[in-house]
Structure 1
Amino acid sequence: MSAAASTPLLAVRGLRAAYGKIEALKGVDIEINAGEIVALIGANGAGKSTLMMTIFGKPRARSGRIEFDGHDITGVPTHDIARLRIAQSPEGRRIFPRMSVAENLQMGADATDCSEAERAAGLERVFALFPRLKERIAQRGGTLSGGEQQMLAIGRALMSRPRLLMLDEPSLGLAPLIARQIFDAIRTLNRQDGLTVLIVEQNANHALKLAHRGYVMVNGLITLAGTGAELLQRPEIRAAYLEGGRRG
């Protein structure tokens, strides 16, 4: 991991967001330093996905502040956030099922101003991580297996050359072998490329083993924080998310 910078790459301060009258985030504070993998765990409905989506501009924050690389991006439109090289692989993958693998990846590159050389280098990187996508390059996204679709969703995000990659439930619904391949790819991106990653993951054991640091969210608030190893040893974490089975 890179040495922690004096200014976090991402800082969320007192963030509140809601869907109508339902407040999903109730004053969230997190920090992510450049070069870190940070895991966010918690039960279903805790607000994890809402936090990730609010960082990416939808829904808009009701109050609080989001800073990226020292600049306030609270209220910045999603397409402008993408141009800052923040990328998201959303829960449910949300690939374009009628478009080919190549066209899906192209959509990721189109999110930022990439040169042709950068697009070619991006494709080479994605195919090195996920050789199966190169084999399926002309195949429609909707005909891929679940694991291949997850690879495509991550690959699409990587095509924008992100400085911060946000992954929402990347192992959801995948066979254990495929899930391990996804986690291995995330580890490779961090160790070889220094990519900063925020991961929301229902498999708390894998997420905390992968992460340098983690946060626990309960009912729209951060209730615990620490290194991945520290959180794995907390009895309340083991009881809630490990010993009793996987919970989102």
Structure 2
Amino acid sequence: MSALLLLQGVHAHYGRIEALKGIDVVVHRGEIVTLIGANGAGKSTLLMTVCGKPPASRGRVMFDGEDITHVPTYEIVRRGIAQSPEGRRIFPRMSVLENLQMGATTADPGRFAEDLERVYGLFPVLKERHAQRGGTLSGGEQQMLAIARALMARPRLLLLDEPSLGLAPLVIRQIFRVVREINAQGTTVLLVEQDAFHGLKLAHRAYVLAAGRIVLSGTGGELLANPEVRAAYLEGGRREVEPR
């Protein structure tokens, strides 16, 4: 398998605070790779650094063989990376359709109708709600809209940040079924997930972050079975896996 995304020794800062401390991550074409870790471990920062906000202060971010470490965010999107951010961040006063149009601004306008039918096929409720303001949707529907909006950019790599956060179990299962389907359709996925069980069950491979560092990696199944991971994230534990 060839690497689509490669982070090599990546450091990132917020002012004087070092949030990422030498991160090495690889995402191969066609994979779902999951990042788990405690709050503040650096998971969301890693996704944002891939998109150039904040930029890596040291190390390299490679996408499809190209160094994008210092490429502007809008150009990174044009190269085929789209993010569904933590907290959804849809446009609440815009309709569902208008939100989806915003997601398609970097895509081929000649394929808009095709892309719209694709996301409506993944999330039929959005077609029913196409004229409804985003802010009036339920939490689960807003999350579906956030993912659909990112897909309208036709990404080769989809970054998903906490898609299950605050949702009911039934909706969570629906979201993860769709993520699997998106991947089966050919989109590579890098997933940050606070629901470690579902995130690891979905993943081909996974990484555990603690205090800005990768402390464990393996297949999703290997980490599900790992005693440290189970104690920290799957059995009600709240401690971090200790760096080695």
Q: Is the structural similarity TM-score above 0.5? A: yes
Q: Is the 8 A contact 1:44 1:247 kept in 2?
A: no
Counterpart contact for 2:38–2:238, Cα < 8 Å: no
Name the SS of the counterpart of 1:229 in structure 2: helix
**What's 1:35 paired with?**
30
Question: Compared with structure 1, are the counterparts of its residues 185 and 246 closer, same or farther at alpha carbon in structure 2 (3 Å cutoff)?
Answer: farther
Summarize the alignment of residues 92-107 of structure 1 with structure 2, pairs less than 5 Å apart.
92-107=87-102
For 2:60, the equivalent position in structure 1 comes to 65
Q: 2:226 aligns with which of 209, 231, 234?
A: 234
Matching residue of 1:179: 172
Alpha-carbon distance in structure 2 between the residues aligned to 1:134 and 1:37? 27
CA contact (8 A) 1:203 1:247 kept: no
State whether residues 202 and 247 of structure 1, in contact with CA within 8 Å, keep that contact through their aligned partners in structure 2: no
| Structure 1 unmatched runs, 5+ | none
Give the Å deviation of 1:113. 3.6
- 2:146 maps to which residue? 153
User: Structure 1: which amino acid aligns with 2:45?
Assistant: T
CA distance in structure 2 between the aligned counterparts of 1:247 and 1:36, rounded to whole angstroms: 28
Q: Structure 2 regions of 5+ residues with no counterpart?
A: none
2-structure distance, mates of 1:182, 1:114: 26
Aligned-pair CA distance for 1:115? 2.5
Q: How many residues align?
A: 240
Aligned with 1:125: secondary structure? helix
SS in structure 1 at match of 2:23: strand
1:137 lines up with 2:130 in the alignment: yes
SS in 1 for 2:10: strand
TM-score (norm 2): 0.96
SS in 2 for 1:94: coil
Q: Is the 8 A contact 1:42 1:247 kept in 2?
A: no
Task: Assess if the C-alpha contact under 8 Å between 2:143 and 2:163 holds in 1.
Answer: yes
User: Partners of 1:97 and 1:245 in 2: how far apart?
Assistant: 36
Q: Return the TM-score normalized by structure 1.
A: 0.95
Superposed CA RMSD in Å reads 1.2
Do residues 15 (structure 1) and 10 (structure 2) align?
yes
What's the CA shift string for 1:106-148, capped at 9, x where partnerless?
Answer: 00000x14132x1111110100010000000000000000000
Q: What corresponds to 1:210 in structure 2?
A: 202
Between the aligned residues of both structures, percent identity stands at 69
**Residue 186 to residue 246, structure 1, CA distance change in 2 (3 Å):** farther
Regions of 4+ moved over 3 Å: 245-248
Letter in 1 for 2:18: E
Alignment partner for residue 216 of structure 2, among 207, 211, 224?
A: 224
- CA displacement 1:30-62 (0-9 Å, x = unmatched): 000000000000000000000000001100110
